[in-house]
Structure formats: C-alpha cells, structure tokens
C-alpha cells in the first residue's frame, strides 16, 4: 500500500470489524461522490425505501392549469407522457399554464456547481424535466434535433442551444430554478398538444391557491429505492441534491433550502451515526468543502450494508466512486464466500496513484488472507 501518500487515506475492515489495512484513516478528506451514500442513507431513514415523489395539477376558477412541483428528480420524458395522457382525459381545456415551484426556494446555489453547459452542473428546483438537460444532434439538413426519439425539442431548448453554439451531446439547458420550471412547462405543453389539448394562453409563474381544484396527483413510477439506484448508477449530482433539498423541506418544512438540506444530512450523521466531526456542504459530493475520514465512511458503509445491492457492482465488488480535479475516491464492499462483506475506503486526495491498481492489490491481499 506504498502508493497511499500522506494526503490520502486507506481503510480495509473485515466482516467482524477487524482492521486489516489502514493508513491515515482518521485524516479528514474530500469524499467526492462517495458522499452520495450518506445522502441515500438519510433519505431512506426519513422517507423510507417505498417513498414516491409526487407532482400536483390544479385548475383555478379562470380555467388556468397549475402545476405544483415537489422536487421529483425523475420527471423524465416518459413521466410527462403519462401525465399528459391522464390530464387530457380530465381537462376540457385550459388558458394559461401556471408553474408553482415554491416548494424549493428559487436561488439555490449548490457549492461546487458553477454556471456552465456541462450536464453535471444542471441547477436544482422543485419543478424540473429530464434533469434540466437535453441530448441533441444536428441532422442532415443542419437542423438541431433531439437525439432521443421521444424527447421533444421545445422552443426554450432550441433557443438555448442556438445561442450556445454547442456541438452534439448532452448539455445543461437551465441557469436557475425559474428556467427549469419553464422548461418543464414546455414539456407538458408539448405532450398535451399531441393529445389535442392546446394552451390558449401563456406559460407563467404563479402559485396554487386555496380555491383551486386538484385535478390529478402524479405519483412517481420510481420508489425512493429505485431513485437511489439510478443516482448511484450514473453518479448523478442533480438527483443527489434534489433528494437533499426535498429532505430539508420534509423535515423542516417548505420551502426547501440548501441550509435545511445540509442540516438534515448533518443531523443524521451526528444523531444517528454518531459522527461528530464531519463537514457537509451539499448532498452530491461535488463540493470540496465536504470533509470526512475513512473511519467516518466506514460507519456510513456499515449502516448502508443492508442496501448495498443498490450500488454499482463489478464482480465481487459493490462500490461508489468519486472524481474531482486531483481527487479520486472509492468506497464499498468486497464480498467473499462467507456472504459477509469486507469494507473498503480509498480516498486519494492529491496523489497520482492508480485507483484500480490499489483496489486490485486490496482484493489480492484479501484472497491471501482468506486462503493462506
């Protein structure tokens, strides 16, 4: 384990709790995306694995259609198609489309996320569509078109892409929660129009009022457990911070804010996991202000063990990895014949060591320990 420098940390622990390898295990490091395991734990604790996000649809006395978002991170194309199908059977028509995204505050600024077209910098909001991103290409005639067959190229998306002058790929379209809500509104308008329900007015912001009639409550097709699995599969920062913000609103009351979300994660870490000396800045691991030790992460992994099948699997290894500039991390479980996993945490916070070679070395060493 000579590749582990003074800036790094390594910890390997057996099923019974015996430390097999350790170096700098108490050193506070930047965990990068391995922090998502803690976010998932807090969400399961407060909401339960079977929790489903919801989005509500109302009509007011003036026949305006209103959408109230509650932070569903998986309002993807298929969800909007399903919503439009149900709404079209319940609506005679509507004037304006009114967007209520007040369940979260508008000015959410996640530490570590900077304004850019990179999809991993997509902003969070209470009402969003397709992670606030779009995958596009240029067809043979030079037109900008969606690269996904069922995802519409809305007017907002087309204008954004034209102004940005980007090459084909997946990009963040939105600069803030207001634009995110507008993009979601255009998604709904597109699919309602396909079913003969055309907006007679405009898309605008507003709020659901006490006299508005609830037309439909969409409950996500994905349980929280499935949302978490997707978050891990794609290491999706947007999903992680949507979960964090929703937790803040759930525990402390709306509107969801960064401070409330961070408070829920920190209180869970300290109150439930007894981790007194960790620093949490947001829920995805994109911020370099997050700090915890390999020993802290071991505590997280122990609590997460019943849910470890949600992590990415490669052979006998179940893990979450993380990458920032100059930072590479990996934490998870190595399963053996006994069925009880070993725990491992590798935090590279400055060295140029190769993560895969370190993990291979750990696995070979464990094989020797188990098969002397």
Same domain membership, residue 60 and residue 206? yes
**Is 214 inside a domain boundary?**
yes
Total domain count for the chain? 2
Tokens for 324?
Answer: 């920032």
**Is 3 inside a domain boundary?**
no
Same domain membership, residue 262 and residue 355? yes
Domain around 198: 54-222
Per-residue pLDDT at 350: 83
**Boundary (domain end) residue, out of 222, 253, 279:** 222
Same domain membership, residue 213 and residue 85? yes
Per-residue pLDDT at 325: 92
Q: Which of 114, 210, 110, 117 is nearest to 157 (CA)?
A: 117
**Is 67 inside a domain boundary?**
yes
Token match 């900077």: residue? 114
Per-residue pLDDT at 261: 98
Question: Residues near 255 by Cβ (< 8 Å), separated by ≥ 6?
Answer: 102, 103, 104, 105, 126, 249
**Is 283 inside a domain boundary?**
yes
**Is 353 inside a domain boundary?**
yes
Same domain membership, residue 45 and residue 179? no
Same domain membership, residue 181 and residue 96? yes
Same domain membership, residue 314 and residue 215? no
Rg (CA), the chain: 23
Same domain membership, residue 181 and residue 67? yes
**Boundary (domain end) residue, out of 188, 205, 222:** 222
**Is 147 inside a domain boundary?**
yes
Same domain membership, residue 46 and residue 91? no
* CB half-sphere exposure, 254, CA atoms < 13 A: 14
- CATH code, domain carrying 40: 3.40.710.10
User: pLDDT tens digits for 279-295?
Assistant: 999 999 999 999 999 99
CA distance 280 to 41: 14
CA distance 172 to 133: 4
**Is 2 inside a domain boundary?**
no
- CATH code, domain carrying 151: 3.50.80.20
Same domain membership, residue 161 and residue 118? yes
**Is 341 inside a domain boundary?**
yes
**Boundary (domain end) residue, out of 198, 222, 246:** 222
Per-residue pLDDT at 372: 41
User: pLDDT tens digits for 99-116?
Assistant: 999 999 999 999 999 888
Per-residue pLDDT at 116: 82
Same domain membership, residue 188 and residue 58? yes
Same domain membership, residue 359 and residue 326? yes
Same domain membership, residue 217 and residue 321? no
Q: What residues of the chain score a pLDDT lower than 50?
A: 371-372
Per-residue pLDDT at 228: 98
């Amino acid at each position: 384990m000579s590749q582990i420098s003074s800036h790094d940390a390594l910890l390997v622990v057996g099923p019974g709790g015996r430390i097999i390898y350790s170096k700098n295990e108490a050193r506070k490091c930047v965990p990068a995306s391995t922090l998502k395991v803690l976010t998932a734990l807090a969400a399961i604790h407060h909401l339960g694995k079977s929790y489903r996000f919801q989005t509500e649809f109302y009509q007011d006395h003036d026949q305006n259609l209103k959408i109230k978002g509650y932070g569903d991170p998986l309002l993807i194309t298929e969800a909007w198609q399903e919503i439009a199908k149900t709404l079209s059977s319940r609506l005679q028509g509507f004037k304006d489309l009114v967007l209520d995204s007040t369940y979260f505050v508008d000015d959410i600024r996640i530490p570590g996320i900077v304004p850019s077209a990179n999809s991993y910098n997509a902003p969070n909001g209470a009402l969003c569509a397709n992670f606030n991103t779009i995958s596009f290409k240029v067809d043979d005639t030079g037109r900008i078109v969606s690269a996904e067959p069922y995802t519409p190229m809305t007017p907002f998306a087309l204008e954004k892409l034209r102004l940005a002058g980007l090459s084909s790929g997946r990009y963040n379209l939105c600069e803030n929660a207001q634009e995110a809500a507008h993009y979601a509104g255009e998604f709904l308008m597109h699919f309602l129009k396909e079913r003969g329900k055309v907006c007679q007015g405009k898309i605008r912001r507003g709020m659901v009022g006490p006299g508005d009639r609830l037309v439909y409550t969409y409950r996500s097709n994905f349980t929280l457990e499935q949302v978490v699995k997707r978050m891990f599969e794609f290491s999706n920062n947007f999903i992680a911070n949507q979960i964090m913000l929703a937790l803040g609103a759930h525990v402390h009351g709306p509107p969801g804010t960064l401070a409330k979300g961070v408070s829920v994660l920190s209180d869970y870490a300290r109150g439930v996991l007894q981790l007194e000396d960790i620093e949490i800045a947001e829920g995805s691991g994109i911020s370099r202000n997050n700090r915890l030790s390999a020993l802290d992460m071991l505590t997280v992994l122990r609590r997460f063990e019943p849910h470890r099948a949600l992590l990415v699997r490669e052979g006998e290894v179940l893990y979450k990895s993380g990458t920032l500039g100059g930072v590479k991390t990996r934490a998870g479980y190595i399963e053996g014949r006994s069925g009880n996993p070993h725990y491992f945490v590798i935090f590279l916070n400055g060295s140029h060591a190769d993560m895969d070679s370190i993990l291979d070395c750990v696995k070979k060493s464990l094989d020797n320990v188990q098969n002397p």
